[in-house]
Amino acid sequence: MAVQNSLRICTLNLHGFNNSKIYLQELCSNTDIICVQEHWLTDSQLNKFNDIHDDYYFYGCSAMNNVCSSGILRGRPFGGVGFLCRNSLPAKIVFEGYHIDGRVIAITVYCSNLQILLFCVYLPCDDGDPHYCDCLSDICGYIESVADCYPGYKCVILGDFNFQCDVSHKGFREFMPVINNLNLGVCDSLDANSIGFTCAHSTLEHKSLIISAK
């Protein structure tokens, strides 16, 4: 997405920092702010983003703090969100905070006369866990609590929502109060190329659409 033809923002699920490092470097050539999900890094590894591009700095958080603090990580790494931001922007960017689970991070962007509150999210997947709605409700509460501190700001939520924007999906129903309270609109219709998906797994033949709301 572009803001006033001067600020270019994109969102990318990395499926692991090492898997997408080269593509991230390519995105830096034509993007000002990159919202990333699933970097799979611990807090001590987040400095790897500093090597992506000399003109970029990184705000991020890990989703593995609780697991790593309790002992050795078993299984593959997971989660984590962040923002790669260009140093030479005609805008002021301020880090505002992140959710304790490492699923949401927020920054404010001051560009010309426009003030933006920008969230990058990686929401949980509804895999039948009885705590799914509680987890999503907690995240929604965090988003709204941050938004309450910035009245009058344009709010944009980007990332991997892990649900389709359809009332038949539990996640969307849980997220609707945030959409309504912050006067957001779903941007699925802005798929100019009518591709219908933003993520594809060729082996499993799975496709999904990463949505955004503004």
Model pLDDT for residues 128-160, shown as the tens digit of each residue: 889 999 999 999 999 999 999 999 999 999 999
Gyration radius from the chain CA atoms: 17
**pLDDT band with cut points at 50, 70 and 90 for residue 213:** very low
For residues 171-196, give the mean pLDDT.
80
What tens digit of pLDDT does each residue of 87-117 get? 998 889 999 999 999 999 999 999 888 899 9
Which residues span the domain enclosing 26? 2-213
Q: What is the pTM of this model?
A: 0.86
Cα 121 to the center of its chain, rounded Å: 3
What is the model's pLDDT at position 40? Answer: 95
User: Do 184 and 178 touch, CB atoms closer than 8 A?
Assistant: yes
CATH number at residue 106: 3.60.10.10
User: Which residues are registered as beta bridge partners of 94?
Assistant: 108
| Number of residues in the chain | 214
Q: How many domains are there within the chain?
A: 1
What tens digit of pLDDT does each residue of 2-19 get? 554 578 999 999 999 999
What tens digit of pLDDT does each residue of 7-63 get? 899 999 999 999 999 999 999 999 999 999 999 999 999 999 999 999 999 999 999
Is the confidence at residue 182, as pLDDT, over 80?
Answer: yes
